[in-house]
Structure 1
Amino acid sequence: MQINTEAKPFDTINVTPMLDLAYVLLVVFILMTTASVQGLTISMPKPSNKPSTEKHDLRIVQVMPGGQLLLNGVGLSIEELEAQLLAAKAADAQMSVAIKGHAKAQYASIVAVVDLCNKLQVNMGLITAKIGS
């Protein structure tokens, strides 16, 4: 048996493993970017062309950073809020609730108020900017 002592350098580089890796990364990237994101389904109300002449009661619920709830500036628990909203709905069936969440409030507290309004079938809206600014 004879050993070839003359080592001949390679002229080419095998790029097949690099292409395999590139294709795998491309497939992973495509799968990750097309994954659907789950969230809340919200149906936005359509604007009306006619001005509203009816005046209905409006309650403002504020969600503070610690999870405290304020109804028109008065602090209360979620159970008390439910009782107050039921009483207000009994007085005016078309009453509305405006929900104002503080920027540092936990989202779960705001969702709890939204769920309560849905359960009571009360008209509601979210305040997204400062009133009067």
Structure 2
Amino acid sequence: MQIQDDNEPYDQINVVPMLDLAYVLLVIFIIMTTASVQGIKVNLPKASNAPSLAKPQTKAITITEGGQIFLDTYPVSLEELRTQLGALKAANPELPVVVKGDTVVEYGRVMEVLELLGQLDITQLGLVTQKLVK
């Protein structure tokens, strides 16, 4: 083992602390970016004491303020929604579905989706709202 004299300059740089910092920053960056990806953003109506209805196999139908329909995060038409939900219902007869409609979306558009769910005999249904803040 070589002993360093106090008067001699160092000829090597210890990069381990810099690598530790880089790894920590990388992990924080990964966690923050995955936490911000949550699907389609809509302005939800307010409700008090709304129970949490989401389950891991729950399918989410989102209706944006422009009337566009999304199944989970994929845009679909009503016919595509019927086809995909029919296939999912065949695989899981107790298929839970939640509907998230923007506060300014036309009421008729939400009713079209609810009617489609009724035709497919999907009874595990929830409407997503925000908690009322006082």
TM bucket by the smaller chain?
Answer: 0.5 to 0.7
Aligned length: 77
Distance 1:73 1:56, change over 3 A: closer
**What's 2:93 paired with?**
93
RMSD: 1.9
| Code of the aligned partner of 1:127 | V
TM-fit CA distance, 1:57: 2.5
**What's 1:35 paired with?**
none
Q: Which has the higher contact order (CA 8 A, sep 6+)?
A: 2
Stretches (4+) displaced over 6 A: none
Rg (Cα) greater in structure? 1
Is 1:129 the counterpart of 2:124 in the alignment?
no
| Code of the aligned partner of 1:128 | T
**Residues of 1 paired with 2:88 and 2:130: CA distance?**
25
**Residues of 1 paired with 2:98 and 2:104: CA distance?**
18
1:8-87 residue pairs with structure 2 within 5 A? 57-87=57-87
Q: Is the 8 A contact 1:57 1:94 kept in 2?
A: no
| Code of the aligned partner of 2:120 | L
Unaligned runs of 5+ in 2: 1-54
**Residues of 1 paired with 2:56 and 2:118: CA distance?**
18
CA deviation map 1:65-95 (0-9, x unaligned):
1111000010010000000100100111111
TM-score normalized by structure 1?
0.54
**What's 2:18 paired with?**
none
Unaligned runs of 5+ in 1: 1-54
TM-fit CA distance, 1:115: 0.6
Q: Secondary structure at the match of 1:121?
A: coil
**Residues of 1 paired with 2:81 and 2:114: CA distance?**
12
| Code of the aligned partner of 1:73 | T
Q: Is the 8 A contact 1:99 1:125 kept in 2?
A: yes
Q: Secondary structure at the match of 2:125?
A: strand
TM-score normalized by structure 2?
0.53
Q: Secondary structure at the match of 1:111?
A: helix
